[in-house]
Structure 1
Amino acid sequence: MPTTPKASGYLSPTGSVVFPRRLPLSVEEGWAAVTDPARTAPWIGPWSGDPATGTVELTMIAEDGAPVVPVGIVRCEAPHLVVVSTAPDGWVLTVRIEGDDDEVVISLEQDIPDAESAASIGPGWDFYMDRLVEAEAGRDPEAVRFSPDYYPGLSEHYRALLGG
């Protein structure tokens, strides 16, 4: 993990902010990294429930109080795409896995409404995506610290990205 995190988010042609990470995994391994509760547990948190019902509950382990967040499954095209919505904030998140048997790019995308929201949301997704990289590399995601390197460290990049 670099000592100083870098802002990775960029605007897609549709206006969503994309947070990509390149990993030495197959597409199937990349899919498992973002959908298997045992693999999500170290970097974002474990989830429970039956995805076939359309909703699972994610425990956000790196957030204060480790809140349990209902996550609705909007669209699922394994092993390349999953779109989810979170409650109570109503965020819609798209996760894409692209690549081959040697390397994938896992991208998280979100429509962020304004520059001030981006100043906190953007650093948060960089933080979680770097935790994903650390977990998949067999390192300790807990070594990645949100404050002050991610927030407020990366805030200006995201504020400027959305015109603030």
Structure 2
Amino acid sequence: MTAKATGHYTLKPDGLYLQFDRLFRAPIEEVWFSLTNPTAMQGWIGTYTGRPETGGVRFRMGFEGEEGEWQNVSILECAPPHRFLADSGPGPTGIRVFSHLREAGGMTTLTFGHRLPNPADAATMGPGWDYYLDRLMASHAGRPLPEWEQYYPALAEHYQELHVPEGARH
């Protein structure tokens, strides 16, 4: 698999997002399971502990190995199997992500976004999310996982050159 930069900017009422789309040949419930089940998540990004229905969990990225720090995640919205919105980390340095799923014709489209306080962050965040979302697709399909070295720094230039929409904070 050759890594491709797929992210683009979208401006939402709460800020500038780097947004990605992926298409799965699977029912929406299967894709939702891959995104939200702590065991399934281990195959592509990490895992969490706790009960999401309480509005919060503790999450740890798997890429960092056992040294990865547990992070508190606030679940702001969760509407299975269609969407979720979550925050991780404190204040302006915190991360906000969303996921929207749509199913049609036996295919499920995942739209994923990460809010960027600073557009310059796209040069590192973009390749990272392309990598993790490609891992999600490979894990879901039972294919070999991609290698990080194919993504960064190779895709950084694409994200450095993205046009920031009018009205976005700098």
Do the structures match in fold with TM over 0.5?
yes
Q: Which residue of 2 aligns with 1:6?
A: 4
**Does the Cα contact within 8 Å between 1:20 and 1:108 map onto a contact in 2?**
yes
The structure with the largest strand share of the pair is 2
1:62 equivalent in alignment to 2:78: no
Q: How does 1:11-160 map to 2 (within 5 A)?
A: 11-14=9-12, 15-63=16-64, 65-88=67-90, 89-100=93-104, 102-141=106-145, 144-147=146-149, 149-160=150-161
**Distance in 2, Cα, partners of 1:50 & 1:13:** 31
Q: Is the alpha carbon distance of 1:139 and 1:66 closer, same or farther for their aligned partners in structure 2, counting shifts above 3 Å?
A: farther
SS in 1 for 2:94: coil
SS in 2 for 1:119: helix
Instruction: Choose 9-18 or 76-85, whichever is displaced more.
Output: 9-18
Question: Any stretches of 5+ residues in structure 1 without a counterpart?
Answer: none
**Distance in 2, Cα, partners of 1:62 & 1:28:** 25
Task: Give the partner amino acid of 1:111.
Answer: R
How far 1:91 moved relative to its partner? Answer: 0.8
How far 1:101 moved relative to its partner? Answer: 6.2
- Give the alignment's Cα RMSD to 1 decimal: 1.9
Aligned pairs, number: 159
- The normalised TM-score by structure 2 is 0.85
Q: Quick one: percent identity of the two aligned structures?
A: 32
- The normalised TM-score by structure 1 is 0.88
Question: Any stretches of 5+ residues in structure 2 without a counterpart?
Answer: 165-170
**Distance in 2, Cα, partners of 1:101 & 1:39:** 24
